[in-house]
């Protein structure tokens, strides 16, 4: 036992020495532990935020813990989804990270000498400087137990924004097993020509938590497009009916019956389950985040990406595709579309009139270069940083004049 402890102490000493050597003069103010919540892409964005916060506060970040208790109920650890060694080493010139707390600090946690809190949503970095850092200095370890949407989209220095991008686009690589399987799916699709990824939002009858006016929600564009509505929209946009359509989603409520109109219009529908052998997906079953990681990789490489709802996957993939060269991403205007579809179904439009209106509405909604919408007093309504991290996508004079963190 003594030998094991000595080896562990030696490991932590080497890790800390290596990080200090690479970071130069680094004042370690303490340790930050974080527990991410939500699905894969919600956690992905949160990890990027937490790295930026740790860097700004000069604290040691412990590799984040992933959500295992929400609807997704995926037991995967960080290292089951992401290449943890690449994550740590690729960022070692920015922030010190460890896989777990050093033994002497871990003992403090076991004794209850730790402060746990959910940070305030959409906070500026100054909140962490003024409210969280003093707690870290006092307790040595602070545990943030909710991390989604905790750092504001806008008003951050360019260095913070660029670090968020560096984590997202470079440091967060999936495990070799996931990467290789994703590449295989892409190869299989490419052999047969161009392909589009259609992200259909999950729909389960037991998700309903409160009484809602579904018709009003739909008219306001707050519902995912149905497969039937999606089929009409794609046809109106003149998407080639022979293109391969990769469905990035779980089972859709209503199954084959609900997918019938889409399958009739676009018969080359495929899924990872139809492209791969069951044995190749065996290790991914009951691991929804790992399955989502496969869909993420395929979505990045598709010729066209079409999300039917602006959830976390849609937003993060949209931003990543912008980073890869503003690849074609059709951002559907659901509020307008349901109105046009209802009018068409009622006979108020001819097909040509309907198609022309849909094309006109989406001419500038193809993932092209644009800046985020900023609403200073309503941060929840602002455009999401990770869907359009424009600071990382084009040169700006502000890059050279912004202050250092």
What single-letter DSSP state applies at residue 307? E
378: its two tokens: 């309503």
Q: Which helix (H) or strand (E) holds 31?
A: strand 31-34
Mean pLDDT calculated for residue range 252-262: 78
- Distance, CA of 236 to CA of 233 (rounded, Å): 5
pLDDT in tens, 328-382: 999 999 999 999 999 999 999 999 999 999 999 999 999 999 999 999 889 989 9
Tokens 């079953």 belong to 285
203: its two tokens: 């729909």
- Distance, CA of 158 to CA of 404 (rounded, Å): 8
- Distance, CA of 236 to CA of 337 (rounded, Å): 11
Q: Taking all residues of the chain, what is their mean pLDDT, rounded to a whole number?
A: 88
Whole-number pLDDT of residue 12? 38
Mean pLDDT calculated for residue range 76-80: 95
User: What are the two backbone dihedrals, phi and then psi, of residue 379, each rounded to the nearest 5 degrees?
Assistant: -60, -30
The pLDDT > 90 percentage for the chain reads: 74
Q: Which helix (H) or strand (E) holds 106?
A: helix 103-110
* Cβ 103 vs Cβ 5: under 8 Å: yes
Residue 326: how many CB atoms within 10 A of its CB?
14
Closest CA to 305 of 326, 328, 288: 328
């Amino acid at each position: 036992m003594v030998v094991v402890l000595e080896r562990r102490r030696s490991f932590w000493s080497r890790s800390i020495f290596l990080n200090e050597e690479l970071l130069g003069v680094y004042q370690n103010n303490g340790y930050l532990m974080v527990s991410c919540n939500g699905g894969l892409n919600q956690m992905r964005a949160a990890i990027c935020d937490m790295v930026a916060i740790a860097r700004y506060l000069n604290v040691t970040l412990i590799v984040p813990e992933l959500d295992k208790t929400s609807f997704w109920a995926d037991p995967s650890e960080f290292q089951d989804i992401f290449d943890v060694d690449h994550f740590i080493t690729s960022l070692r010139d920015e922030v010190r990270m460890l896989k777990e707390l050093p033994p002497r600090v871990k003992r403090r946690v076991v004794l209850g000498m730790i402060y746990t809190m959910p940070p305030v949503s959409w906070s500026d970095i100054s909140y962490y400087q003024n409210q969280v850092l003093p707690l870290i200095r006092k307790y040595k370890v602070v545990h943030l137990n909710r991390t989604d949407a905790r750092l504001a989209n806008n008003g951050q220095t360019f260095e913070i924004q660029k670090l968020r991008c560096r984590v997202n686009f470079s440091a967060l690589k999936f495990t070799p097993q996931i990467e290789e399987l994703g590449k295989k799916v892409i190869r299989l699709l490419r052999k047969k020509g161009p392909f589009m990824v259609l992200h259909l939002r999950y729909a389960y009858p037991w998700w309903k938590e409160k009484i809602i006016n579904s018709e009003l929600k739909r008219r306001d564009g707050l519902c995912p497009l149905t497969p039937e509505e999606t089929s009409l929209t794609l046809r109106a946009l003149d998407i080639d009916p022979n293109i391969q359509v990769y469905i990035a989603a779980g089972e859709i409520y209503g199954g084959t019956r609900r997918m019938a109109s889409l399958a009739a219009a676009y018969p080359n529908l495929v899924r990872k389950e139809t492209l791969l052998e069951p044995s190749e997906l065996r290790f991914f079953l009951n691991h929804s985040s790992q399955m989502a990681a496969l869909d993420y990789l395929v979505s990045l490489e598709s010729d066209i990406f079409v999300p039917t709802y602006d959830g976390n996957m849609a937003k993060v993939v949209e931003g990543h595709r912008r980073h890869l060269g503003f690849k074609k991403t059709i951002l559907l205007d659901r509020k307008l579309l349901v109105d046009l579809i209802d009018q068409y179904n009622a006979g108020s439009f001819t097909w040509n009139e309907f198609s022309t209106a849909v094309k006109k509405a989406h001419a500038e909604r193809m993932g092209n270069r644009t800046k985020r919408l900023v609403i200073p007093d309503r941060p929840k309504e602002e455009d999401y940083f990770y869907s359009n991290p424009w600071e990382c996508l084009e040169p700006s004079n502000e890059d050279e004049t912004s202050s250092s963190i």
